[in-house]
Each structure stands twice: as C-alpha cells, then as structure tokens.
Structure 1
Amino acid sequence: HAQPNACPVCGPHTSLLNRRGEVVGESPLDLLKQGNIIAVKGLGGFHLAVDATNAQAIKTLRQRKQRDAKPFAIMTRNLQAAQRFCMISEVEEKWLTSPQAPIVILAAKDDSILPKEVIHPGINTLGVMLPYTPLHYLLFDQELEILIMTSANISDDPLITGNKEVLEKLGAIADFFLVHNREIYNPCDDSVIRITSLNTPQYLRRARGFVPQGIKIPVNSEPVLALGGEMKNTFCITRQGEAFLSQHWGDLDHYRNYSNFLHGIERFKAMLAVEPQVIVHDLHPDYQTTRWAKNQADFKKIGVQHHWAHMASAMADNGLEGEMLGLVCDGTGWGTDGAVWGCEVLRGDYRCFSRLAHLKYLPLPGGDVTARKPYRMALVYLMMALGQKGLSIAEEYLPALPVPEKELLASSLQKKTFREVQTSSCGRLFDAVSALLGICSLNNYEGQAAIELEDLADTNQTDYYDYIINKEENMWIMDVFPMWQQLVAEIKKGGPVSAMAQKFHLTLIQMFSEILVKLRDETGLNRVVLSGGVFHNQILLTGLMQNLTSQDFSVYQ
C-alpha cells in the first residue's frame, strides 16, 4: 500500500482522450460496450482493450494492428467469469489469483460464447489474466465481464510507455486513450505461464510480477553478466548465489530494443549494486550481443554454446550439480561446427559439455526465411528423404509453395550444390510436418505451425512412425527420413490429420527415449534435463517424462 495512491490531491489522475488528445467526458466502460478500441495505460506499458464478445470489434483490432493470427490475451472481471470461459485447475487458479497476476494459458471451453476464430484461431487455449490495477476493475461490470487485453506496442517495437507517444503511434489503431499522470520508468510486459499436466509452471515470458526477483543458483561465482540471444532477449546478472533475470527486451536487431537493452543493463547494475567481472555471450558471430561483448574492454569474456546454456539453465533451475545428460530441442542455435543446431543430446555440467547425438542434418535454405515459411522445410525434407519423388509429392500437397520458389530450391537440392548452412533443428521438423499435413504453411507468429500441430493431435492414437538411430564417427544420429514415406502414404489414403499429428509426436517420444537409453548404457549417467522451446509442447513433454521415468531415469525440466 502506498498512501499517495489514495490521495485525491497528489495521487494519480486519469484522463480519457480522443485521437486528437482532447479530454472526453464519456465512460470508458460505455465506449467498450459500443465496440470501441481503447488504449489503457497500465504498470509497465499500454494495453489495447476491446469487448471480447464483439467479433467485429476484434476483427477491426486485428486489421488495424496488422496481427493476422497470433492469439490475443484476455482479461476477465474476476475468477468466476474466467471459469465460465475456461477450464481451470486448482494450480492454475492459484497462479491466476497470485500477486504476480500473470497471463495463464488455459483450455478454452467448447461451449463458450467467445468468437474463437478471431481471438485464438487454430488453437483451443486462451491466455487469461485477472485485473491487477485499480483502473482495470473500472473497465468491467456485470454486462461486460471479458476484454481483449493485448500489448499496445507496434509489432517488433519496444513497449509504449508515454502519453504523448501513445497518441502519436497508436492514433490509427485505438479510438480512445485511457491514460494517467504517473510515468512508467521501467517498461515491463505481462508475464505468461502455462501449467503442465505434471502441475509444474512453465514460463513462456517471465516479466511483470517476477522481475527482478532473484533465482537461487547452486554456483556462487564472481559477478557475471550473461547477455542472452538475439530474439526475445533477456539478460541476466548474478550476485552472491542468485541470478537476476531481466524482463524481455524484444528482438535486438531493432535499434530501440537494443537501446532499451543497454539502458536495462545499467539500471540492473545500479539496482543490485554490483559490477560484473565476466561477460558471457552466445557463439553466434552476428548477434548484437556478441558484437557488444567483444567491444567491451577490461572484462573477461566467455562464449557459450546456445544449447549448453539451455541445459545449464535447466540444471540451475532445479538446483542440480554434477555431470548429466541434456536433451535440448528448439528452433535455432549456433553450433560449434558452424551448423544450426536444434535437436541435441549433450553430456555435461556447468564447466564443459560434449555432444553425443543430434537429429540428422539437412539444408536450411534461406535461414530465417525458412523459419517463417514451413512449406520450404517440408519440401527439403520430402526431397532429402524421398528424392525426385518428393518433388512431385510437394507439388500435390504443398499448394502454398510458389512455383519459382519450388524450382529454385529443387534445382539446388537435386544438383547437391546447396551451399546453405546445415541444420538439426527440431523446430523446423515440426514446421515441415505441419505444412505437409495442411495445418500451417506460413508462420504468422513464432511457433504457429508447431502450436497448431500439437493442438490438432488426437491423443487417443498410440502408433508411431519408423525412424533410424545410427552411430557415425562417434556421433549418434537420429534419422526421421523413414517417417516421411509412411506419412505420405497415410495422407494419400485420406487418413485423419489428427491421428497423423499424434503419431508424429509419439515418434519423437519413442526416438528420444531410445537414444537416451543407449547413452545411459554408454555413459552410466541416469539424470537427464529437458530444455528448449520445443518442450513447451505438452504432448512431447508429458509423454517423454512419463516414458523416461518408467525406465528409471531421473528427469528434470
């Protein structure tokens, strides 16, 4: 409690403005009921609010914000309102009503009156939060109990925090602006978590409510500044056995995000009264964080491989020490051999690691372009697995693939003159399967193809596809090429997409379990950590943890 918050003289004052910045006397609640879009100033930035039962108003918001498919978060008047739209467990209720008030990913009810196709197209989950400022409560009544509450920043831009700035930047998006006279000095987005079927929280975004709360770590070293990656960056500063993670700064190839990142480092150093002695950066030579680190004089600098960092972070989060195995699955990470890693089994601790196994390499044409276009990766997998036959299959089952793009990629693959970097990315494998099954051919937001593939899977299915695990020059290779012949055969027979989606998930669970058993036999290591963005997939995470636990592994995530 802060007394100034309650003082009518020196406490905060709110104003409702139109697009010209003029004060209007209408009620924000009435304007929302009429279908208007209101930019609402919060604790760490602005939200765009609109009636979540008004499909046309939500479509207008999507059009103005140029956000075609990414799901919107919602805010409900209270817990009882949230329960009318979503299924909520006791653990999820605890997090929803916690002081941190994060967005919690919940299963949506099928009989909800909400227009699913415009709020969360292609998936059956909703990101839900409850009011966490007094102003939020004034936006609801018994008639209006649910709002879209999405971050008001322009795509890829930093959070908007100023009253003048919001009028300038969102004048073409919001109809009205509900502002107050308290400055936002530290931009911070809403935190997002999901409760797994094991009743453990997964942080999709650790920000408001959790930052800058320290995390106990088992290693007490000299102060370290770890810079993070290029996309959705967060940095970390350690002090006396605790790690202090920052909020998200966005993608650092955007200058204003990069500028906020640098200011954030100075703010954290002052807040913690610590001066880091070591700077840790990613191995990728072109990341802004790597370049900045190398330009810093008088510091010890350490380059750390991306997937080893994933493994070590999961170890630290669980308070583990000593050597163990790590299965790390994600979209992109610069490997020590110059390839783009993304499905790796490592052996290591906090001091060193070795790579024991990975998904079979194949070309990554266009790099980040392919990450946005799953149909490209589907073509690569089809041609690498099935040869010329794969090209004809792509022509039939990848309608989104433009002819010139197909011809260029096919020509390079057929001549085997492909100079593109090789990849073992698990994320790109999910993309390829999703595109071939006709689920998602273009990623309008990060992970869309994989998310929709998971959501569509029929969990009653129990079969899986073929794969091969071979050892080549002291490295185990996980090869899913045999799966593609079977997948295509089922598509041609008109098999249900939901069954094929589930069989794909079960293939990975079976393959990962088998390779970990082989490596346990080789190394004698029985502890394994699971890390990387792919393990936000609940089918994969839950199935693999259960499978490994039944085979007497100690599993952590």
Structure 2
Amino acid sequence: MTVAARGPTRVRARVDGTVQGVGFRPYVYRLAGELGLAGWVGNDELGVVLEVEGAPGAVERFLARLPREAPPLAAVERVGAEEVEPRGERSFVIAPSAQAGEPAAPVAPDAATCAACLRELFDPADRRYRYPFVNCTDCGPRFTIVRAVPYDRARTTMAGFAMCADCRGEYEDPRDRRFHAEPNACPACGPRARLIDGDGRDLRGDAVENAAAALLAGAIVAVKGLGGYHLACRADDEAAVHRLRARKHREEKPFALMAPDAAAAAALVVLDDAELAVLESVERPIVIAPRRPAARVARAVAPATSELGVMLPATPLHHLLLADAGVTLVMTSGNVSDEPIAYEDADARQRLGAIADVLLVHDRPIHMRTDDSVVRAVPGRPPLLMRRARGSVPGSVPLPVVAPRPILAVGAELKSTFCVAKGRRAWVSHHIGDLKSWETLGSFREGVEHFEQLFAVTPEVVAHDEHPDYLSTSEALAREGVDHVAVQHHHAHLAACLAEHGETAAAVGAIFDGAGLGPDGTVWGGELLVGDLGGYRRAGHVLAVRQPGGDRAAREPWRMACAWLVAAGEERRPATFAANVPERDWRAITRMAQSGLGAPVTTSAGRLFDAVAALCGLCARCTYEGQAAMELEAVADPGERGAYPVAVVPGAGGLCLDPRDAVLGAARDAAGGRSPSTISARFHAGLADATATALAELAEAERIRSVVLSGGVFQNRRLTLAVGERVRAAGLRVLVPVRLPPNDGGVSFGQAAVAAWRDLHGGAR
C-alpha cells in the first residue's frame, strides 16, 4: 500500500501464512526498531497481526521489506494492510498471543538443526555443548510436538519442562534468536537422552557416545528421532545389516542411510547441485539417487537396485550420533515390517526390544508420529516426491476453488494419507502407511483427529474412494450427519495433479498405477482420461488381461507374465521360469487366465511392468510393493535405443495400448539370452512411445493443450522423462505432481479438490 505523505502515520497489518513458531514476531520487532517505528506485533488464531506507527516513508519501507526479508522458516502468503488512527506511541512491543475465534494459522513443519545451533552443539565452551536438544526459532521440532494452536509452549509436548533462568532470559528477549522458541531448553532444564537395554534398564555414561560405540561394534540401536523411532546399524557391516533384515522381517526392500555430512553422502550417490540442495534443505528428506560403484555400503542395504536412499542428520541427537560413530549408518523406520513406526517409549520397548540390542531414548514426548519424507532425483526437473512426511507436513496446499463447506478426504488404501480442507486451503497428512491393519487404522484415526482439531475443521463433506472394501471407505461411510462424495480412484489422481498446479480446465491424463476400482467393476490401472475437477471420461486404456489370483498376482509377478503370454497366444512356460515355477503351477495359472475363474480383468500398467520383470528373470516373487517394477527400471540400459512395439489402436473403450507384441519380444529376447538391461530399456521405450502417441492424439481430438502424468507407475523416472519429452515435442504442456506424490499419497488431495468443486457446483449434496 502507499501511505499518504503527511505527518506520522499508523498502519494495521495482518500477515497470513506460516508465521508462528518461526521467529516472525522478533523479526518484526527488529525491523520496526531499525526503521524507528512504534507499535506492536502479536500472534492470534489466524497468524500474525501488527501495527506500526512513524514517518510515512519508514512505514512504506517496513511494509515492502516485511515479506521479502522474513525468517527462513516463514512462508508469507499475504500481507493485508490498512491505515488507522495514529496513537502517538514511542516504543514497539511484542504482545501476548490472543485467540478470539477458531484457529486457522498454519503450523510449521519440523526443521533441521540450523548452523548457529550446530556451532553451539560442538563448541566445548558453550553451555549447550553436546546437548541433543539444542534448537532456536530457525530450527527444531514443530509439527511433531504441537498439540494445538496458537503455537505456544503450553500447547506443545515441552509444557512439562520448566525453563531455567538462562533459558527464560533467552525466551523473553526479543533480540535473542530464541525469543519464544517454544522447545527452548538446555542441559539444566530440558529433555535428556538415555541409553537403555531391552528391559528398560539405564546403561551408564554418555548415552549418545555409548550408542555410537555399540553401532561401531556391530549392534542394532533403536534411536528416538523427531517423529518416531529409527533402527540403526553400520551401513558397511554386511552381518549387521543381515541381522537387522532378519529381526525386522524385511527381506529385500532397500534401507535408508544417514550420512554424517554432504561430502559423505556424495561419496555414496551421484548428486547434482539441485539434488544436493534438497539433501541439505531444512526438510532433510531421504534422497534416492544412483549409487556410486565405490560406495562403502553393504550389498544387503539395497540388494537389487542401483540406487541408494540417503539423508543427512535432522536433529542434534543425530548429528552427535553420526559424529561420534564417524561412519554412515542404516537409519530405517522403527517398526516390524508393515506396522506403523513406534513413537511412544513403552510401545518402542515392547515392539523394538526384540530387534534392537539397545535403545537410545529421550523424555521429550512425540505428539504425532511422522516418517521421513522421500524424494527421488530426476535430471532436469524438480525431485520426485515419493513420500511426503517429516519436514513437509503440515504445510498447506492451496485449492484452485473455494470449498463452500469443510471437507475430509480419506484417501486410498496403499500409501495412505488423508486431507482436511476449508476455504481455499487444504492440509494433506503425513504418510500413514498401507491401510490394511488395525494398527495402521489406529494411526490414521489419530492423525485425522489431530488435523481436525489443529486446523479447526469439522467436516460437513467426506470424500472417499469408490472401492467399498477399503478401510478408508469404511471410515468415511461411518461418519454420520455429513455428505459423502465417492471419487473414482484415477479421477482423484488426475484431479490432484490439476489442483496442485491451480488448474480447473480439462486435461488429458495418463494415469498408470497398480490398481483402482473402475465404475465397470473391473480393476483399472492403465488409464487414459479426459477430465477436470468436476468429472472425467475414460478415453483409452492398456489392453485388459486377466489377473490370476487377484491380489496374489501383485506378490507373484510370474502370474502376470503367464497371463500376458496367454493374451498374446503363447501358453508354454519360458525357460526363465524353469527353476522357480513348477510346470504344474504354470499350467494351473494358464487355465485361470484362459477361463477367467479367480482371475479378474485388469488394465493395470503396474502389473504389466511386473510381467516384464518376471519374463526377463528379475523378480518372479515380490517381498514388498512395487519391487518388480523398481528392479526392472533399475537395470535399464541407458545406451539402448531399441524399442518393443506397443500398438495404439481404436477400440470400444477408446484408444487401446496393446503391448502383446512387446511382451512376446521380451520373452523371445530373454529366451535367447538377451540381458535384462536391454529388455528393460526396449520395453520402457516402447511403452513411452505408445503413451505419448495416444496422449497427443487425444489432445488434438479434444483440442486440449495440457497433459497430466500421474499414478504410482510415474514414480518411474525413465518412463516419466521419456513420455514427457515426447509429449512436449508434440507441442503440449506436461503437468506432473511436484508438491505431492504421484502415487496414492496424493489421492486424498485429489478427492478433496473434486469434493470442493462438486460442492461449489451443487454436486455434493
């Protein structure tokens, strides 16, 4: 705003965005002091409100600089200002927090330890030397400890720790970087770390130092982090990694690694400058990148992939542990396979006591369990977000339309998330896990209750998947006194990507994943859609085949290889299966694929990848979701230029992508001794060519210029880049998920966007 050029003037301003718990008020205090302005600043249920008074030019400079120079963890969305009557004040003060209405101020995500706190952590002369819980307004726990807003200490899990005189002095001094740092503490008054055995007995000495010594000796250590427990061991110790796999019941799925610093990480994986920046960001995600041949990492860490997932320490405790150990550590979720991570101490001792030799614990409670976020390096574009959790949640994602009523969207079943929304703002939850057990359902319910309370959302509309057997659907339908909105799975994927990019116009979409119930009662998963937030139509799909044994085929990819060969007119068992699939089993599955008995129809692109992975001898049976497709991508030869033919033909259901010749080509090449790397590359190229061709044809026919690529299959970097390159070459605009995962972790946001649009246009009542 422009302030009138006259005597002293006063302006009242409201600052919207993530501005609580990030040092915004002391920043305003310092900025006002620098410009010689009087007034006040305070928190309320909506964000930050302030008044400044002084010379008109100084007030204008204040308003111009206010969003531009905000603290590093702040995210200013809007500054609304209006002139008010001057009061003649001479000083500037920070007012107490006030709450007059329902809370709506965004809560900041947890943030990695800042450079200033790290200097104190490793400075022997500092009173916080080696204190595992050092933090300030620029770093430390937020979402995982907050119980309610406004964000004040009394509403966090730090409420039980009374600050000593020194910490209280920092907390109350607006010039100090710890002014109103709600988790502020020191060794005299704050949380403490302990090293205990499986029975809960304390082990004497420096807890972190002794935990590091145990790790170096080959032990498995459970480590309490920001959002829950990790299980750690030496990454270069083959025996220790195998013990961890056996105890955790995690046969082959890759483990994440924690490197001491960026240089150590760069010695393990290939990172460009942009990817290194993501690795070192305040979010501190796990970054999946190509493994260096000389990386000192046990083969058992990631036994069947050419990539490693690496992260850097996010907390002072992790910094100390890695510094004391001096080696890269496995740092995987603290759970038994498929369970939610442990985050409460008693539960951790019970569930992890049989896995870990010792537990590194502390007495700062975690209010909301949160896994690590995961991104994947993609050359030439922003990293692919595969799991959105610690460091990113609960950052809001704007809706492209105003939701007339509050919404809860419960997501899908795999990689479960939920979403609450009101007005133009939506909050997508942290990764919950696969919603297939009562333990995970309990975590889901805890999260929903917390988000509804934290963001003052009392849902009047509840959106859910059309699949009636999902636990998430049951949760939605159990809600009474609300309007229920069923959203088809692949439409939700399309809508999520459109809404993330602020789009309401129609787009053509390739939505490729493992499974989603189609309105015709069959299993969809290789879909070409034309649609917007309000609706969609199926404009094409991957050729439908049988899925012998239903969900069992996802765990045994050889079944899908058999089904695709039967569809292509070939019944003989390939030689690649002679060692691990008995002839009688092959004949039984052949009969199922031919008769359809116990073999539902599917168009799943995910199951097609499974089939090709099995055909070239990579993965006949899976021990974790997506394994076969991941291994197939991992071996693809980057120099191969051949492509198996995938036909694009018109059919009753629109364009059909027919990969039967590609499947036969892969089978022939495998039988002839062609390497899996060549087969994989040719399959990827053929499917990318056909997908891009079909999308371009549909876009031209529909006079649409935007194309969406989403669904779990588009976590495949090679396929995404190849299809995107070909579609752009046709003059079309490509939209891919950036702030949310392309997998089912983004479905809840798509459901919320569809529900908001329908409610706005009278379709949700």
Deviates more, 1:260-269 or 1:305-314: 260-269
Correspondence for 1:300 among 483, 491, 508: 483
Residue 534 of structure 2 aligns to a residue in which SS? coil
Correspondence for 2:286 among 103, 107, 114: 103
When the two structures are superposed, what TM-score results if normalisation uses the length of structure 1? 0.96
Q: CA shift at 1:286, angstroms? A: 0.7
Correspondence for 2:460 among 253, 277, 280: 277
| Structure 1 Cα separation of the partners of residues 700 and 527 of structure 2 | 18
| Structure 1 Cα separation of the partners of residues 183 and 546 of structure 2 | 60
Correspondence for 1:49 among 207, 218, 232: 232
Deviates more, 1:348-357 or 1:317-326: 317-326
Native 8 Å contact 2:285 2:373 kept in 1: yes
Does the C-alpha gap of structure 1 residues 417 and 155 become closer, same or farther in structure 2, counting only changes over 3 Å?
A: closer
The 5-angstrom pairing of residues 65-80 of structure 1 reads: 65-80=248-263
Native 8 Å contact 2:538 2:653 kept in 1: no
Residue 323 of structure 2 aligns to a residue in which SS? coil
Residue 309 of structure 2 corresponds to residue 127 of structure 1: yes
1:90: which partner in 2? 273
Over residues 269-299 of structure 1, what are the superposed CA-to-partner deviations in whole Å (9 max), with x where a residue is unaligned?
1111121221100000111121222232221
1:339: which partner in 2? 522
Over residues 297-327 of structure 1, what are the superposed CA-to-partner deviations in whole Å (9 max), with x where a residue is unaligned?
2211110000010001011112222111111
Q: What one-letter code is carried by the residue in structure 2 that aligns with 1:350? A: L
The 5-angstrom pairing of residues 309-324 of structure 1 reads: 309-324=492-507
Residue 733 of structure 2 corresponds to residue 551 of structure 1: no
Residue 668 of structure 2 aligns to a residue in which SS? helix
| Structure 1 Cα separation of the partners of residues 474 and 346 of structure 2 | 34
| Structure 2 Cα separation of the partners of residues 474 and 435 of structure 1 | 29
2:706: which partner in 1? 527
Residue 123 of structure 1 aligns to a residue in which SS? coil
Native 8 Å contact 1:376 1:401 kept in 2: no
Deviates more, 1:362-371 or 1:514-523: 514-523
Q: CA shift at 1:239, angstroms? A: 2.0
Residue 400 of structure 2 corresponds to residue 218 of structure 1: yes
| Structure 1 Cα separation of the partners of residues 515 and 496 of structure 2 | 17
| Structure 2 Cα separation of the partners of residues 8 and 481 of structure 1 | 66
Q: CA shift at 1:547, angstroms? A: 0.8
Native 8 Å contact 1:74 1:150 kept in 2: yes
* Matched pairs, number: 552
Runs (4+) off by over 4 Å: none
Residue 708 of structure 2 aligns to a residue in which SS? strand
| Structure 1 Cα separation of the partners of residues 712 and 550 of structure 2 | 18
2:36: which partner in 1? none
| Structure 2 Cα separation of the partners of residues 140 and 526 of structure 1 | 50
Q: CA shift at 1:142, angstroms? A: 7.2
Does the C-alpha gap of structure 1 residues 86 and 487 become closer, same or farther in structure 2, counting only changes over 3 Å?
A: closer
Deviates more, 1:398-407 or 1:518-527: 398-407
2:682: which partner in 1? 503
1:393: which partner in 2? 573
Native 8 Å contact 1:4 1:10 kept in 2: no
Higher Rg: 2
Q: CA shift at 1:358, angstroms? A: 0.3
| Structure 2 Cα separation of the partners of residues 47 and 476 of structure 1 | 47
Q: CA shift at 1:201, angstroms? A: 2.3
| Structure 1 Cα separation of the partners of residues 566 and 606 of structure 2 | 18
1:162: which partner in 2? 344
1:421: which partner in 2? 600
Does the C-alpha gap of structure 1 residues 217 and 398 become closer, same or farther in structure 2, counting only changes over 3 Å?
A: farther
Q: CA shift at 1:404, angstroms? A: 4.4
2:586: which partner in 1? 406
Q: What one-letter code is carried by the residue in structure 1 that aligns with 2:557? A: P
Gaps of at least 5 residues in structure 1 are none
Native 8 Å contact 1:469 1:515 kept in 2: yes
| Structure 2 Cα separation of the partners of residues 263 and 142 of structure 1 | 36
| Structure 2 Cα separation of the partners of residues 417 and 154 of structure 1 | 36
Gaps of at least 5 residues in structure 2 are 1-135, 137-180, 737-765
Q: CA shift at 1:398, angstroms? A: 5.1
Native 8 Å contact 2:256 2:310 kept in 1: yes
1:190: which partner in 2? 372
| Structure 2 Cα separation of the partners of residues 494 and 195 of structure 1 | 32
| Structure 2 Cα separation of the partners of residues 46 and 391 of structure 1 | 49
State the percentage of identical aligned residues.
37
Does the C-alpha gap of structure 1 residues 298 and 398 become closer, same or farther in structure 2, counting only changes over 3 Å?
A: farther
Residue 127 of structure 1 aligns to a residue in which SS? strand
Over residues 152-181 of structure 1, what are the superposed CA-to-partner deviations in whole Å (9 max), with x where a residue is unaligned?
111121221122222211222100011001
Q: CA shift at 1:473, angstroms? A: 2.4
The 5-angstrom pairing of residues 104-503 of structure 1 reads: 104-115=287-298, 117-141=299-323, 144-222=326-404, 223-386=406-569, 390-394=570-574, 397=577, 399-414=579-594, 416-473=595-652, 475-503=654-682
| Structure 2 Cα separation of the partners of residues 143 and 187 of structure 1 | 26
Over residues 498-540 of structure 1, what are the superposed CA-to-partner deviations in whole Å (9 max), with x where a residue is unaligned?
1111000001111111111221232111210100011111110
| Structure 2 Cα separation of the partners of residues 292 and 102 of structure 1 | 30
| Structure 1 Cα separation of the partners of residues 366 and 692 of structure 2 | 48
Native 8 Å contact 1:196 1:538 kept in 2: yes
Residue 140 of structure 1 aligns to a residue in which SS? helix
Q: What one-letter code is carried by the residue in structure 2 that aligns with 1:479? A: D
Q: What one-letter code is carried by the residue in structure 2 that aligns with 1:213? A: G
**Structure 1 vs Structure 2 CA RMSD:** 1.6
Residue 571 of structure 2 aligns to a residue in which SS? helix
1:518: which partner in 2? 697
Q: CA shift at 1:396, angstroms? A: 5.4
1:542: which partner in 2? 721
Q: What one-letter code is carried by the residue in structure 1 that aligns with 2:263? A: Q
Residue 126 of structure 1 aligns to a residue in which SS? strand
| Structure 2 Cα separation of the partners of residues 129 and 323 of structure 1 | 38
Does the C-alpha gap of structure 1 residues 354 and 398 become closer, same or farther in structure 2, counting only changes over 3 Å?
A: farther
Q: What one-letter code is carried by the residue in structure 2 that aligns with 1:545? A: G
Does the C-alpha gap of structure 1 residues 348 and 169 become closer, same or farther in structure 2, counting only changes over 3 Å?
A: same
